[in-house]
Structure 1
Amino acid sequence: MYRLSGYQFYNVSEFTLQELCNDADHIAENFKAYIQGFSDNIKDILNNLDMETHIKKMDEGGCLFNTVKAFSELDLSVESFDSIKMGYIFENLIGRFFQNVDAGQFYTGRDIVKLGVSLLVSEGCDDIFDDHKLITICDQAAGTGGMLSTAYSYFKHYNPTADVKLFGVEFMGVSWAVGMAEMLIKGQDATNFVHADSFKEDPSADTKMRFVLMNPPFGTPWSGKDAKAGQEEAVINEYAKENSRWGAGLPGGGDSQMLFLQSAIAKLDEKVGRAAIIENGSPLFTGGTASGESQIRRWLLENDLLEAIIAMPTDLFYNTGIASYWWIISKNKRPERKGYVQLIDATNIYHKLRKPVGNKKNEFSPEDRAQIAKLYTDFDKADSEYSKIFKNEDFMYREYAVMQPLQRSYSITEASIERMLQKGALKGLWDEAKVAEYEEQGNVLSGKDQNKLQAFYATKPVYDAILAKLQEHIADEKWLSPKVFTPVLQAVLGDLADKKLFEKIMDGLSVMDKTAEIQRDKKGNIVYDKETKDTELVKYTEDIETYMAREVLPHIPDAKWFWEEDLTKKKPVIKTGAEIPFTRYFYKYQAPRPSAELLAEFLAIDKAVNERIARLMK
């Protein structure tokens, strides 16, 4: 049937739209029969759009016949509208009906997509204008296919002979159906636009892409109870593979954006692949040094994949006013860009909509897009107010531990005893909260926990005896080293505490004291106090001694740094990370207004208010 129709779809129904209008009394029944005559791919689209429910509603509302009649009178033949023109019509319809708050999750405004496409092809793409050039484009969070459609229109406009092949994956049925319809209208291979979960499968695994365009969902979990069924298992299984799509690591389970980012990179052609991906602010800085997010950023920088990040204005999307960014990924950076990342602040380059649509109050005009693209292509010659260039290493850092020498004084006072209890020195003997929890469970307490409760009862007398002994010896005296305090505490406790418990009690009765003796180990080396441990994030390119001299030692002269990274352990200790504090680089200090000016303004307001009150009182 496909061969007979000449298209990727067909209809074997006895009806045409015109013939349906000849029997108004049976329009609903006949229209359903007409739909059932379509090929399976069209029926899949209509089923995901819940077409039969809509037919029923229109029939009950008395508008089905008029709707079918109106469409039957339109000349939408191939002779009147080729696939490109029909694609433009379809894009316009999608734009009209998906520009609202609820549908916004499936739809990225065409102005935003056009900017992404412009940035994507601004460099390293001269060959796309060659006659009959094969151009592959992929979107693994395709929604209604808007990004693919916009890219297709761009390439066909500038190179009508280009063979543009679109690949998309979309999980949501309604948005997949709309996108699938557009792919068929554009004459694309329907098997390349797949209704699936991108994390569970890669339908085009054997095809490397020239371009990837994507706007993955923000803050959508891939693991945990809120993730889609089976998604966590699929991601972890893929991660365990030797050539995993997520070879750089897994981000926190609450946000899947950086999984989409890595998957996009895995799809790219190794020599000329380029990607443009929209992210919110989280992937720039979320996570500590050893976190998945930090290590993914580090991987991007160490492999020189990140070409540019463009900050867009807020209030661009229909369903959120959140700040968002285009990330430009490249496998073919031009020589001047190698080893560098460009940050572009386009937050103030936009035009206001005359009438907001949902959250969308701003848009990119053609002039705005041209200005941003020029900032991008000008690279190191661009206006530094909007564009800044950094070495990859500028975003990387090392995390050092900083500690002070162990100096502690010891005392037996009400305060030091309370401090000891707060630190949990005696919880092994008696844990009041735990005991209360066990007692509350009563008969349902497990055998294991019953044994723990009985153990607490057995050691409670020792707990009471230790506290009583300490209370008996409360004094104002302070000891400045463990050497002199140890025999004092031994005399107080006698044989009530073994060595381990004795050390806990002694530590609990101590406090940091810079007048105390510096403690040393058996070899005479200074012991450093772990309770004073702090961390310093030092730029990857900066010498730690230089950093300490400038930032730490003026405030803590006896501080010492420690490098704790150890990649040889079974669970490696990672202390090298990366973050991109975008807004910090474009922050502009605004001095507060003079106090005299503010006071005069307040007094003027106060005077005006009093005058109005006086008039009302008359």
Structure 2
Amino acid sequence: MVDLQKDVWAVADTLRGVYARNKAGDVILPMTILRRLECVMAPHRAQVAAIVAQQPNETLRVKMIKSFTGGVKFYNTTTHTLATVYDSGDDMADNLLEYVRGFSKDIDVFANFHLPQHIERMRKGGILATIVRQFRDLDLSPETVPNSKMGELFEHLIYMDFESSNAESGDHYTPRDAINLLVDLLFAEDDNALAGDAIRSIYDPTVGTGGMLSVAEEHLQRMNLDAELLLYGQELRSESYAMCRSDMLAKGQNPQNIVLGNTLTNDLFPDDKFNYILSNPPYGVDWKNIAEDVEKEHKKGFSGRFGAGLPPTSDGALLFVQHAITKMNPADSQDGGARAGIVLNGSPLFSGGAGSGSSSIRGWLLEKDLIEAIVALPNDMFYNTGIPTYLWVFDNKKRTERKGKVQLIDATDLGAKMRKSLGSKRVEIDEAARERVLQQYAAMESSDTSKIFDNLDFASWQITVERPMRRNFETTPERVSLVSEHKSLGDVDGLSGALISFNGGKYLNREKFLADLGKHLGSRGINLTSAQRKALWQTLGERDDSADICRFPSGKNKGEPEPDIPLRDTENIPFGWDGNPKSHDAKEATIKAYFEAEVKPHFKDAWIDYTKTKVGYEIPFPLHFYKYVPPRALADIDADLDESLQEILGLLRKVEEGK
């Protein structure tokens, strides 16, 4: 397989001169697909040609071909192959173009890769014959390169293409080891898939080239040869879509189930639900340019896809999560619910405070008991990023023992070093590590690397603690100078002079100060607006714990203490704090008990502004698996520093001796 990968990408050397290296994939990818389709068709080429000649109706033609070949759903109306095209001499470009255009209409990969234009470019560059010969000589038959290996080849070619163009390959596909683990977890709870001729559907809303769907199909077939998995996917990038659709055709899947479009703005399976959902949405995808469409759907509430909330426009991962949940087969359906597996970075675990869109989405997932397990993967697992990555498993019909529970599994130490790095990918989850994770998942027991939580263990009340404003007031030259510099007070004629002439001394009561100062300013014909009056006492006042409490002079809070904004603080109180019931109904009692125990002893005059209380949801995964590492002994650090110093001195002596 390694030699095949090298042989295919070696075509880039032939393209050099006519194509920049970062454009080699524009030719290599579609030509690889062309050769693969040709090899799939080869055993039945003559018989299929007869069916095409006899049956003009497209629908009937495809049905007859599928029946005859045992699953192939495409054909070519010409007699060309890469071998005959190569042998056609001067007519090579025209024949290759005719061959490419002769595929059934479901094969749209070549148009999406603009292959006809590239054929002409290669002809003019004098390299077309060599390229055709190189692909003619590749054996990509299903017997030599089964679907799983073909997927690995596609993965390698995409990686090479995006590495050469410095693009973000992680946006397009997921490493097979990560997919294998996620698929294992996805099927782990589905006993029905093992029974008889089960039919299951699986959907990837960010399907890329279809790697996740392919692994899932292979996995189910290993579990049950009689089971059938119907594959569906939507993809934004036309090249990836075309590759995925071609791959589905080659495997006998329905190409109409792979669609092109933006999943967040245009769900092209609006009425469909699925048994499984798999997805690796792009990390940190910015959705500002589609915000109007997303916000419009959010306003529909749960009749749309984004009723739970909107994450920040800088990261749309939780939009994809909400979309995936809405595509799950209902729990009360005949098939018995659905499961979803989604690859995410750390942001969806804890980004956004209480009351934010992200927190609200997490709350919805937890309160609806949809999150079954989250697995932390080793760093450096993905091709274009070394950041922490997590597998989320969702289930809308959990087993009894998992109801109301979330399992966290720490697999960060299970990565095996790769012999050769691929971009940022330096480690992989091998079979032994995958089995270890699955064992922990199945056991559902607490250990150093597996923790079981109630859903509401991740919920808390965020309370706002206020303290009263206390100020002293004085018209000293230093404070008056601040008034002179103030943008709304500095232009008031005579104000600074009037303040300097005010000899009231230091006031510890705001109302008394304003009353006396107001008379003084009035006697000098200086009248201030309410806004200017407020700005004046704020400028002349200084915090003083010995001063009287400032109270609201009017309004519904008249006579109540006025909060000191800089002293305002928030406290997060976990549900179930100090043995209180872990429920929303325990809100008042839990908050009161916490306040009396944790706040009042330190700030006697503090109070809670209950109008600002919010419920927040956060899954602090790393916190639950934190391992304390004691600092090194000072003697060891000193020894290392001394060794480094001696090394530096030795180098300096060599420099001096060399002069």
- Same fold, judged at TM 0.5 (above): yes
SS for the counterpart of 1:405 is coil
Question: Alpha-carbon deviations, 1:277-300, whole Å to 9, x = none?
Answer: 011111111112221111001111
Question: Alpha-carbon deviations, 1:22-59, whole Å to 9, x = none?
Answer: 312221111001111222221x2111122124323543
Question: Alpha-carbon deviations, 1:2-23, whole Å to 9, x = none?
Answer: 5335143232235344432331
Corresponding residue to 1:343 among 397, 404, 408: 408
Question: How far is the alpha carbon of 1:174 from its aligned partner?
Answer: 0.8
2:177 counterpart of 1:117: no
Letter in 2 for 1:389: I
Change (3 A) 1:530 1:16: closer
SS for the counterpart of 1:113 is helix
Matches within 5 A, 1:199-598: 199-223=264-288, 227=289, 231-241=290-300, 243-271=303-331, 272-379=337-444, 381-382=445-446, 384-418=447-481, 427=488, 460=491, 463-473=492-502, 477-494=505-522, 495-498=525-528, 500=530, 501-520=532-551, 525-542=560-577, 543-565=590-612, 575-598=614-637
- Give the stretch that moved more between structures: 156-165 or 525-534: 525-534
CA contact (8 A) 1:141 1:198 kept: yes
Question: Alpha-carbon deviations, 1:195-252, whole Å to 9, x = none?
Answer: 11112222222221111000001111122xxx3xxx3332223223351111101111
Question: Alpha-carbon deviations, 1:162-188, whole Å to 9, x = none?
Answer: 121011000101111111111111111
Identity of aligned residues (%): 36
Aligned to 1:108: 174
Change (3 A) 1:507 1:68: closer
SS for the counterpart of 2:291 is helix
Aligned to 2:75: 10
CA contact (8 A) 1:13 1:36 kept: no
Letter in 2 for 1:467: S
User: In 2, distance between residues paired with 1:559 and 1:2?
Assistant: 76
Aligned to 2:18: none
Question: Alpha-carbon deviations, 1:308-330, whole Å to 9, x = none?
Answer: 11111111111222211111111
Question: Alpha-carbon deviations, 1:517-566, whole Å to 9, x = none?
Answer: 2345687654443442222122133322333344433443322222114x
Question: How far is the alpha carbon of 1:596 from its aligned partner?
Answer: 3.0
Change (3 A) 1:315 1:75: closer
User: In 1, distance between residues paired with 2:368 and 2:628?
Assistant: 34
CA contact (8 A) 1:289 1:399 kept: yes
2:114 counterpart of 1:50: yes
Letter in 2 for 1:274: R
SS for the counterpart of 1:40 is coil
User: In 1, distance between residues paired with 2:365 and 2:230?
Assistant: 27
User: In 2, distance between residues paired with 1:303 and 1:251?
Assistant: 19
Change (3 A) 1:77 1:175: closer
User: In 2, distance between residues paired with 1:403 and 1:421?
Assistant: 31
User: In 1, distance between residues paired with 2:360 and 2:456?
Assistant: 14
Question: Alpha-carbon deviations, 1:371-403, whole Å to 9, x = none?
Answer: 112122221x24x21111222112111121111
Change (3 A) 1:65 1:109: same
Change (3 A) 1:145 1:470: same
Change (3 A) 1:506 1:297: same
Aligned to 2:641: 602
Change (3 A) 1:415 1:293: farther
Matches within 5 A, 1:88-167: 88-100=148-160, 101=163, 102=167, 103-123=169-189, 125-167=190-232
**Alignment RMSD, CA only?**
2.5
Question: Alpha-carbon deviations, 1:561-591, whole Å to 9, x = none?
Answer: 22114xxxxxxxx711211121122222222
Aligned to 2:26: none
Letter in 1 for 2:539: G
CA contact (8 A) 2:201 2:231 kept: yes
- Give the stretch that moved more between structures: 477-486 or 598-607: 598-607
User: In 2, distance between residues paired with 1:51 and 1:187?
Assistant: 24
Aligned to 2:334: none
Question: How far is the alpha carbon of 1:75 from its aligned partner?
Answer: 7.4
SS for the counterpart of 1:31 is helix
Letter in 1 for 2:450: S
User: In 1, distance between residues paired with 2:502 and 2:317?
Assistant: 61
Q: Comparing both chains, which one has the higher relative contact order based on Cα–Cα distances under 8 Å and sequence gaps of 6 or more?
A: 1
User: In 2, distance between residues paired with 1:318 and 1:337?
Assistant: 34
User: In 1, distance between residues paired with 2:286 and 2:440?
Assistant: 35
CA contact (8 A) 1:413 1:474 kept: no
Change (3 A) 1:280 1:419: farther
- Give the stretch that moved more between structures: 190-199 or 98-107: 98-107
Corresponding residue to 1:64 among 116, 128, 149: 128
User: In 1, distance between residues paired with 2:84 and 2:645?
Assistant: 77
TM-score by length of 1: 0.85
Question: How far is the alpha carbon of 1:255 from its aligned partner?
Answer: 1.2
SS for the counterpart of 1:99 is helix
Change (3 A) 1:398 1:76: closer
SS for the counterpart of 2:318 is helix
Change (3 A) 1:509 1:184: same
CA contact (8 A) 1:143 1:179 kept: yes
Change (3 A) 1:259 1:486: same
Letter in 2 for 1:105: D
Question: Alpha-carbon deviations, 1:393-445, whole Å to 9, x = none?
Answer: 121111211111232211112343355577x6x62x66xxxxxxxxxxxxxxx
Letter in 2 for 1:212: I
User: In 1, distance between residues paired with 2:99 and 2:512?
Assistant: 97
- Give the stretch that moved more between structures: 104-113 or 411-420: 411-420
Change (3 A) 1:407 1:167: same
SS for the counterpart of 2:467 is strand
Question: How far is the alpha carbon of 1:133 from its aligned partner?
Answer: 0.5
SS for the counterpart of 1:166 is strand
CA contact (8 A) 1:2 1:9 kept: no
User: In 1, distance between residues paired with 2:136 and 2:550?
Assistant: 93
Question: How far is the alpha carbon of 1:69 from its aligned partner?
Answer: 4.5
Letter in 1 for 2:477: E
Structure 1: gaps (5+ residues): 431-459, 566-573
User: In 2, distance between residues paired with 1:38 and 1:270?
Assistant: 39
State the aligned residue count: 561
Letter in 2 for 1:175: S
User: In 2, distance between residues paired with 1:474 and 1:25?
Assistant: 106
User: In 2, distance between residues paired with 1:540 and 1:359?
Assistant: 40
SS for the counterpart of 1:564 is helix
Question: How far is the alpha carbon of 1:505 from its aligned partner?
Answer: 1.4
Change (3 A) 1:555 1:420: farther
User: In 2, distance between residues paired with 1:118 and 1:90?
Assistant: 21
SS for the counterpart of 1:516 is coil
